[in-house]
Amino acid sequence: MAEHYIPNFMGGLNVAQHPTKIKDSELQLLENMEVRPTNISNTISYFELTARQSYKRLHTDVLLFIPRNLIEFVQSIAGGLGIGTKFLVTGGFESPNFRLRYLQDGATTTTQISSTASSSTARLSMFIYNQFLYYTDGNVAWRSWNGVTDAASGFITRTKTGVMHKFRAFYGNDVTNTLPNRLYYSDVGLPETVVATSYFDIGDRNDAIINVVDQVERLLIIKEKSSWVLYLDATPANSTLLKVETYKGSTAQIGAVYENTGVYVSTLNDGIQRIVGNRFEPSFLQIYNQLKGFQNPLAALGWNEDQVLLATLATSASTYNDRVYAFDLFGTKVFQSNLNFSSFCMNRGIFTFGGKLKATEDDGTNRYIVELDRISSPVETTFTCKMRTKEFALGAIDQINKLEGITFSGIFPDNTTALTIKTFKDGGTSALETKTYTPTTAGFNRKRLSFLESTSFGNYISVQFEYAQPASNAIRFSILDLLLDYDKESRKE
């Protein structure tokens, strides 16, 4: 007599627990798929597995550089372009110049702010104080822009990073004098005025400052090999500097994002960690490394309300898709979208520019600023979706599991594109059996496919769905539910 197993998607992409405790109903692999709520006929609610949602481009021209950061800047001074004009600012290196450009709210093309001779540093540091946006690429001396005029900053020392903290500007990693551990601070309310003796030398010179984060009550200084916190006194010489416990990783942090429970840091090869108080701890995202992408050297962190966002970028040497993960702090669920993102804001998170998510998109040829509105996009093309379940034990390990069939319901964009279903056993990469299903009609379909018990069997069984999402965005392919029918047979050693 056949038994049944019903996977569900209510836990999102995964739940916040150790991989050994992940439920069998949780999905192991999603490529160009995401878990999201939906409903049918406004009566039944589902958590469905759907092909990635689309996006819209915010302008028609192509960025000629790889964008290294994004920041929203609101000009509120009289004159020029007017009071309260919003700009989305980005920049990067286009040989032989470092360029900064903006997209004005409501505009369809970007406008150049500055073009300065430089060399590629793969970074862009920005911070805002009053009516000015200050920026550098780490080679160019700090500059300022007020929405109208771009000019050299009064602070002429070149550094790699900067931030405002308690009405002072802090500049880290002195490039001009080759003092990578030096942190300068400005006079109160005067970010461009830095007295020659206004600095802290933090730790070893061989341990460079790579990021400085304002945590309201303190300043977090992230270095290549160590991290420190600075409690600033009204008299800076009386400030308290404490070292954070040893970083649990082998490679320096490349990005950081702050929220009220701590600072999350991304690394080249050690996943995501969080600084709480004066110590590092593996964050809830750390356990998802096996979900293809969190140990991606091109990962970047962002922030959106109550979600930590992580963007990863596939390369020619990578087998993983371009992905965006959103970890819901309060719901402890991870959701996933798939787009060709090249970077996120590192200073202010992604919740920016009119309260909508922005990022930069790189399709391998052209680069754009995009908005995650999940609307129809005329630039969407056919792409392949893949999802593979966790390996179902379907009972005790002293039994062989034989798959009889699968019943599924889903939404199909048309009645011509076939869905492919493959079975695997015991971690194998070669399919045991392959079935195809061509829907009878566009829209909702329910189908049962039979499998050969003599073929689709093993100690552990997994099922993989593959689908080529058509270019049309009218309907997105999705799987609503699954039912697995199987038999069990005692193992024979």
- Which DSSP string corresponds to 154-179? S--S-EEEEEEETTEEEEEEETTTTE
The predicted-structure confidence for 312-328, as pLDDT tens digits, reads as follows 765 555 545 566 777 77
Angle (CA) 358 359 362, round 5°: 145
Residues 357 and 478 in one domain: no
Give the structural domain span for 218.
56-371
Residue 292 confidence class, pLDDT cut points 50, 70, 90: very low
| Domain match, 250 and 148 both | yes
Same domain assignment for residues 152 and 243: yes
Query: What digits encode the pLDDT tens for the residues 333-342?
Result: 677 666 666 6
Structurally, the chain folds into a number of domains equal to: 2
Please say which residue of 326, 346, 371 terminates a domain. Answer: 371
Confirm whether 257 is domain-assigned.
yes
Last residue of a domain, one of 371, 406, 421: 371
Same domain, 158 and 194: yes
Using only C-alpha atoms, what is the Rg of the chain?
26
Residue 378 lies in a domain: no
- Residue 182: inside a domain, yes or no? yes
Q: Are 395 and 401 in contact (CB under 8 A)?
A: yes
CA 187 to chain centre: 36
Token digits of residue 210: 């790579």
Domain of 431, CATH number, reads 2.60.120.260
Are 101 and 46 members of one domain?
Answer: no
The model's pTM is 0.79
- As a whole-number percent, the residues of the chain with pLDDT over 70 amount to 71
Instruction: Identify whether the C-beta of residue 394 lies closer than 8 Å to the C-beta of residue 476.
Output: no
109 in the same domain as 38: no
Domain boundary among 346, 371, 396: 371
Verify that 75 and 158 share a domain, yes or no: yes
Query: Looking at residues 15-28, what average pLDDT do you find?
Result: 56
Q: What is the pLDDT of residues 97-107, one digit of tens each?
A: 999 999 988 88
> Does 295 lie in the same domain as 351?
yes
Any domain includes 139: yes
In this predicted model, what pLDDT tens digit does every residue of 420-434 receive, in sequence order?
999 998 888 899 999
Its sign, for the CA torsion 83, 86, 90, 94, is negative
In a domain, 376, yes or no: no
Greater confidence (30 vs 145) lies with 145
Which residues are bridge partners to 269 per DSSP?
none
